[in-house]
Structure 1
Amino acid sequence: MKTLSIRRPDDWHLHLRDGGVLAGVIGDTSRHFGRAIIMPNLVPPVVTTEDAKAYRERIMAAVPAGDRFEPLMTLYLTEHTQADDVEEGKKSGLITAVKLYPAGATTNSHGGVRDLDKVMPVLERMAKIGLTLCVHGEVTTPEVDIFDREAVFIEEKLEVIRRRLPDLKVTMEHVTTKEGVDYILGADRNLAGSITTHHLIINRNDILVGGIRPHYYCLPVAKREHHRQALRKAATSGDARFFLGTDSAPHVDPLKECACGCAGIYTSINTMSCLAHVFEEENALERLEAFTSLNGPAWYGLPANDEMMTLEKREEAVVYPSKIDTEAGLITVFDPKFPLHWAVR
């Protein structure tokens, strides 16, 4: 196969940051993706509908002229979030989901949830009005090994939420383990999962073998190889419960290449090339459209994009910049460590 036409894809988990970084990275998303769910962990975070409205305006002002792109806004769940504000955001059409960060789980998550009981009234309202909860599925207790955080979260937190609120729709974002895949497959309803580009390609050896590789460090951290294989099987299966959420997370290089570097991998610019390569390796190119363009909209109750995208396989490798330059500084682009021959026409 030399060409592949699919519905225009969406990104169901994206970090755009703000200011100079936002201005520098937004075009890499808006060129290829029709919509994206925007993460709210700014400084300060997007905690109210008014915050989300203002952030959306900043995003739209940064979208390059001529690009058709719709940011889907989320709220950062805190123990002080007001259920009425969440409902008003949903009714207005502005808010697509609410994001649960366990406190301390990832970048700018210190204001997240420590006690689930304190956010249950908000979650109950969300279940009632049909608003999806997106979860960063990791516990943060120090006695739990970082490679076990997702599995423990499922057992100790997510199962509790789902038992108490069976009508609440939950997206397990950036699933990284076989346990996460199996948990989604075992659910009878109201549970789906997004999978990132980079977790389909790297495992924990890529971070640690031959020296510490900060540009492969992300949270949730990449796991053992058998977990990566489980993710590839799920993503390429066509199962409607799995869809693309790149978790593309730009940080300027000085914040990555330091004694306490930030978690995050920047993949927006080359995600479609990487995914076509992965799906071709798995003999599943005919299911790429489901993963990138169909399953996510169906889960969130939205129509698939009308526009089409054509990918073509070229003889010569596609060259992407190793870094992009923003007003805030240089950002390193994800290197899959193999040549990319699929390109968006």
Structure 2
Amino acid sequence: MTEITIPRPDDWHLHLRDGAMLEGVLPYSARDFARAIIMPNLVPPVVTGADAAAYRDRILAALPKDLDFTPLMTLYLTEGTDPADVASAHASGLVTAVKLYPAGATTNSHSGVRDLGKVMPVLEKMAEIGMPLCIHGEVTDPAVDIFDREAVFIDTVLDPLRARVPELRITLEHVTTSQGVDYVMGADANLAATITTHHLMINRNAILVGGIKPHYYCLPVAKRESHRLALRKAATSGDKRFFLGTDSAPHVDPLKECACGCAGIFTAINTLSCLAHVFEEEGALDHLAGFTSRNGPAWYGLPVNEAMVTLVRRETPVHWPERIFTGDGPVTVFDPLLPIHWEVA
């Protein structure tokens, strides 16, 4: 197959940042994606409905006039979040979901949740109104190995939470382990998962072999090869509980290439090309549209986009810039480490 046409995709996990960085990276997502779930971990975070409205206005103001893109806003869950504000923001159509960051789990997560018991009134209200909870599924206990934090989170936090509030709709974001895949597949209701582009393409060797490569460092960190293969199997299976969330997360190069570099990989520019490569390798191009364009809208109760996107397989590999330049500084583009022949027409 040398050409495939799919409904215009959505990105169900995206970091756009703010200010000059927002202006620099937004066009790359808006070019290929119709909608995106926007992460709220700004400084300060997007906590209230008023915060979300103001952030949405800044995104729309930065959007190039010739691009059609809808930001789907989220609220950052804190131990002081007001259930009534959450419900009001959701009822108005302003906010699509709430994001739970365990405090200290990733970039700008210090305002996150330390005691799940303190946010139960919010979660119970969300279950009542059918509002999804997006979860960064890792524990932050320093005694737990970083490569085990997702599996431990599932056993000690997620499974008890689902037993306590079974009607809560949960999106387990950026799944990185075979345990995560198995857990989602074993759920009979109210659980779905996003998978990133980069976790389908790299394992932990990309970060560590031949020297430390900071532009492959992300959180959750890439795991061993057996987990990558489990993710590829899930993503390409046609299972409607799995869909794309790129977790494209730009940082300027000086903040990546330093003694304590930031976690995040910028993939918005070449995600669709990389995914077509993965699905072709797995003999599953017929499931690409489900993963990128159909399963996510079904989970979030939205229509599939009417516009279509065509990807073409070129004879020669496609090339992207090594980095893009924003008003905040240069941002390195994800390098998939192999030739990619698919390109958005």
TM-score w.r.t. length of structure 1: 1.00
Aligned to 1:335: 335
- CA positional deviation for 1:51: 0.2
Aligned to 2:169: 169
Aligned to 2:213: 213
Task: Find the aligned partners of 1:20 and 1:326 in 2 and give their Cα distance.
Answer: 6
Report the 3-state secondary structure (helix = DSSP H, G, I; strand = E; otherwise coil) of the residue aligned with 2:32.
Answer: coil
Task: Find the aligned partners of 1:3 and 1:202 in 2 and give their Cα distance.
Answer: 25
CA displacement 1:133-181 (0-9 Å, x = unmatched): 0000000000000000000000110011100100000000000000000
Aligned to 1:29: 29
Task: Find the aligned partners of 1:215 and 1:69 in 2 and give their Cα distance.
Answer: 27
CA displacement 1:74-95 (0-9 Å, x = unmatched): 0000000000000000011011
Q: Which amino acid aligns with 1:10?
A: D
Q: Which amino acid aligns with 2:267?
A: T
Aligned to 2:64: 64
Task: Find the aligned partners of 1:313 and 1:288 in 2 and give their Cα distance.
Answer: 14
CA displacement 1:252-308 (0-9 Å, x = unmatched): 000000000000000000000000000000000110000000000000000000000
Q: For residues 4-83 of structure 1, what are the structure 2 equivalents within 5 Å?
A: 4-83=4-83
Aligned to 1:316: 316
Task: Find the aligned partners of 2:93 and 2:126 in 1 and give their Cα distance.
Answer: 14
Task: Find the aligned partners of 2:63 and 2:286 in 1 and give their Cα distance.
Answer: 31
- CA positional deviation for 1:214: 0.1
Q: Which amino acid aligns with 1:344?
A: V
CA displacement 1:115-147 (0-9 Å, x = unmatched): 000000000000000000000000000000000
Task: Find the aligned partners of 1:255 and 1:290 in 2 and give their Cα distance.
Answer: 36
Aligned to 2:287: 287
Task: Find the aligned partners of 1:340 and 1:163 in 2 and give their Cα distance.
Answer: 43
Q: Where do 5+ consecutive residues of structure 2 fail to align?
A: none
Structure 2 residue 142 is the aligned partner of structure 1 residue 142: yes
Task: Find the aligned partners of 1:65 and 1:312 in 2 and give their Cα distance.
Answer: 26
TM-score w.r.t. length of structure 2: 1.00
Q: Where do 5+ consecutive residues of structure 1 fail to align?
A: none
Q: Structure 1 segments of 4 or more deviating over 2 A? A: none
Task: Find the aligned partners of 2:91 and 2:192 in 1 and give their Cα distance.
Answer: 23
Task: Find the aligned partners of 1:50 and 1:161 in 2 and give their Cα distance.
Answer: 28
- CA positional deviation for 1:319: 1.2
- CA positional deviation for 1:340: 1.3
CA displacement 1:300-332 (0-9 Å, x = unmatched): 000000000000001121111010000000000
Report the 3-state secondary structure (helix = DSSP H, G, I; strand = E; otherwise coil) of the residue aligned with 2:120.
Answer: helix
CA displacement 1:9-41 (0-9 Å, x = unmatched): 000000000011100000000001000000000
Task: Find the aligned partners of 2:65 and 2:277 in 1 and give their Cα distance.
Answer: 30
Report the 3-state secondary structure (helix = DSSP H, G, I; strand = E; otherwise coil) of the residue aligned with 1:211.
Answer: coil
Task: Find the aligned partners of 2:3 and 2:280 in 1 and give their Cα distance.
Answer: 12
Q: For residues 51-200 of structure 1, what are the structure 2 equivalents within 5 Å?
A: 51-200=51-200
Q: Which amino acid aligns with 2:100?
A: L
Aligned to 2:263: 263
- CA positional deviation for 1:66: 1.2
Report the 3-state secondary structure (helix = DSSP H, G, I; strand = E; otherwise coil) of the residue aligned with 2:167.
Answer: coil
- CA positional deviation for 1:64: 1.0
Q: Which amino acid aligns with 1:49?
A: G
Task: Find the aligned partners of 1:133 and 1:124 in 2 and give their Cα distance.
Answer: 11
Q: Which amino acid aligns with 1:13?
A: H
Q: Which amino acid aligns with 1:141?
A: D
Task: Find the aligned partners of 2:256 and 2:328 in 1 and give their Cα distance.
Answer: 14
Identity of aligned residues (%): 71
Q: Which amino acid aligns with 1:41?
A: N
- CA positional deviation for 1:339: 1.2
Task: Find the aligned partners of 1:328 and 1:20 in 2 and give their Cα distance.
Answer: 6
Task: Find the aligned partners of 1:216 and 1:2 in 2 and give their Cα distance.
Answer: 29
Q: Which amino acid aligns with 2:195?
A: I
